[in-house]
Amino acid sequence: MRIEIWADVVCAWAYIGKRRLEKALADPALADAGAEVVWRPFRIDPTTPDQAIPIEETWRDQLVDDALRQCAPDLSPAENRVRVSRIAADEGLGPQWGAAWHASSHDAHRLLYLAREHGGAALQNELAEQVLKAHFIDGDDISDRRRLGMVAVRSGFAEGAELLDTDAGDREVRELLLIGKARGIATSPTIVVGDRALAGAQPPEAIADFLAGGDHGRKLPEEVQRLRWAESLLGRQDPLGALTLLKPLLDEHADDLNVRRIAARGYFHSAQLTRARVVLEQLVIDAPDDSYARLMLGRTLQRLGNDEQASLHLKMAAAMTPDFA
């Protein structure tokens, strides 16, 4: 059973959730589950600067205060920090606890991805433990590649320190972040098994019950999954993200009608109108009964200022599907 942890390594609940997952996996009922834990990237604050700043400075930021209040509306940010520290201590993460830096986690996520590629899930899980410890207990700046490289060496992934100074894993992590968004991952941590998700650092008993449900998700071909993720991102108003996930399909399956339909929507909604027009003009030739493609082509031509041509396609779309009138 593959257990995915979608989490940000600068999220305290991710470390707490890791401990609780470990306790859940110790349940005898899961002894034969053959669990493989895989860490996936999530960013609780994508706007975090590349250069880390002392954590105390962020506590004076009103936006940070507002975000903390959403986590615990009945507590002040200071009270919430004390609460999290107490919970961490209960999970054995102490007595020294607390991040010293407001740091970007992007390179740490790259390193985690590369660890699994080079050494499998066990190495990745050990690295995750050491990165979390460095951030929350040792007070290290894990956005500093030199410090992060030292964490990699301690974890048994010495080659990772050298890879940090390249762009290795960058594209893959950015793509995984988009996949997480497409799958509706909105909380760090979120545990995913198949097509089921458990959000938050739930108690070990709740995690064990969730895992006992097993992985009954239907395995889809990678191309179908990617197409669905791209469509999901369109529904989440992220057309550029959709096009990013769609690119391999455009490269390998450029003649597929469904790939072209989603590409056209991505181009249209990201204001790449010339590209949308090219795709849609060929699409209405290859699929003349596609009224939605006609509608999109008409609207694309309208935006390009070709009202006469647009009118023709809009009328045809309305005749084929009256709701488009």
Question: CATH second-level architecture of 222-324?
Answer: Alpha Horseshoe (1.25)
Angle between helices 12-25 and 77-90 (to 10 degrees): 30
Q: What is the CATH number that goes with domain 2-212? A: 3.40.30.10
- In tens, the pLDDT along 194-207 reads 989 999 999 999 99
Cα dihedral value 23, 29, 30, 31, nearest 10:
100
Whole-number Å distance between alpha carbons of 199 and 123: 24
Task: Name which of 203-217, 258-272, 285-299 the model is least confident about.
Answer: 203-217
pLDDT at 146: 96
71: which residues sit within 8 A by CB, 6+ positions away? 80
Whole-number Å distance between alpha carbons of 159 and 171: 19
- In tens, the pLDDT along 152-172 reads 999 999 999 999 999 999 999
Q: Please, which pLDDT band fits residue 66 given cuts at 50, 70 and 90?
A: low
Which carries the bigger pLDDT value, residue 49 or residue 243? 243
pTM of the predicted protein model: 0.92
Whole-number Å distance between alpha carbons of 195 and 192: 7
Q: Is 281 exposed, middle or buried (0-12, 13-18, 19+ CB in 10 A)?
A: middle
Contact 225, 195 (CB under 8 A): no
The domain spans of the chain are 2-212, 222-324
Q: Is the pLDDT of residue 91 over 80?
A: yes
Both tokens assigned to 255: 């003649």
181: which residues sit within 8 A by CB, 6+ positions away? 233, 236, 238, 241
Q: Is 244 exposed, middle or buried (0-12, 13-18, 19+ CB in 10 A)?
A: middle
